[in-house]
Structure 1
Amino acid sequence: MGTIPLTVTGAEALRNELHEMKTVHRPAVIAAIAEARSHGDLSENAEYDAAKEKQGFIEGRIAELESKLSIAQIINPALINADGACVFGATVALEDLQNGESVTYQIVGDDEANIKNGKISISSPTARALIGKYEGDIAEVQAPGGVREYEILSVKYI
């Protein structure tokens, strides 16, 4: 498995989630299992079964976060010098040529993508169409409703 790109902010968010899983959720589920065990017969104890299932989820998520962080390539967009090209971490202002609407997206890793916050995944069709383009270029994006054209208004590394 290769590296996965993450912005500094995305890596910090994963570290915070990992810390919370280890210090809050794991101890809470261990306490819930102990409480359920104190009720006696485990064969028909729904609380025990639910707590064990939750423990499995938490341990799986901890392993997933540790794995992602161990192979992450952390990129600080502010330190990028790409001469104005759209690259990972860039914040790109676009104008939809069909309806004239302007949008701004930051190109980020899969784990930190959130369209509501203006963060699109590097593997999304929009990001793939933008990579390597410059301010003033037209990017053609294959969307489910057909091809959409965006003019790149600005590219920033913030």
Structure 2
Amino acid sequence: MACRTRPDEGKRIGSPIVHTPSRARRDRRIGMDFLTPDEKRKLETRLEELRANRPRLSQRIAEARALGDLKENAEYHSAREQQGLEEAEIRRIEERLARAHVIDDNSRRAEDVVFLGSTVKLREVSSGDVDVYRLVGEASRDPSSDVIEVTASSPMGEALMKARVGEQIRVKAPRGIKTFEIVELL
């Protein structure tokens, strides 16, 4: 899905559309999940919160059960539903952490190469717009951040992975192929 060119050489690196699975998708299929140290910490913190909430939910269910008829007991059904949602999230996080491979800053091979956890400034070639992106394993869904998060398995993430400063990447987007230049790593 991505084609890289070096502006100084004008040579194309790779093909414009890749039909084989990306490394990120291939690794996810075989059970590997890449995380930054910060993403791993956030998952572990969330897991601790959910586990700590188990006794409170059990108590809430017991209190609601004591109120009587379970068929029309909204508090009981609400607590049971919440328990089911939290248990599902616990399982999802535990599975993700079990297959996680943490990519830390020391594992980066070169200063000018984009890896998981990198924050990069990109310029869209056609419009000249400049935005800041962060390559992540899983988006944090933090709307207050000024950085646009892209996952490694997205078309933009696949194009960015292992690209270098000064290269141009092509990304297949819903409205056609867009070309970006990697201005700098932040």
What TM-score, normalized to structure 1? 0.87
Q: Which runs of 5+ in 1 are unaligned?
A: none
Q: Find runs of 4+ consecutive structure 1 residues off by over 3 angstroms.
A: 111-117
**Structure with more relative contact order (C-alpha pairs < 8 Å, separation 6 or more):** 2
Report if aligned partners of 2:65, 2:76 keep a CA contact under 8 Å in 1: yes
Residues 68-102 of structure 1, C-alpha deviation per residue, up to 9 Å, x if partnerless? 11111111135422352222222221111122111
* Counterpart in the other structure of 2:81: 53
Aligned residue for 1:86, secondary structure, equals coil
Aligned residue for 1:2, secondary structure, equals coil
Q: Which runs of 5+ in 2 are unaligned?
A: 1-29
* Counterpart in the other structure of 1:137: 167
Q: 1:128 aligns with which of 140, 158, 163?
A: 158
1:19 matched to 2:48? The reply is yes
Report the more deviating stretch, 106-115 or 145-154: 106-115
* Counterpart in the other structure of 1:71: 99
Q: How high is the sequence identity, in percent, across the aligned residues?
A: 34
Aligned residue for 1:110, secondary structure, equals coil
What TM-score, normalized to structure 2? 0.75
Larger helix fraction of residues:
1
Q: Which amino acid aligns with 1:8?
A: P
Say what the alpha-carbon RMSD is for the aligned residues. Answer: 2.0
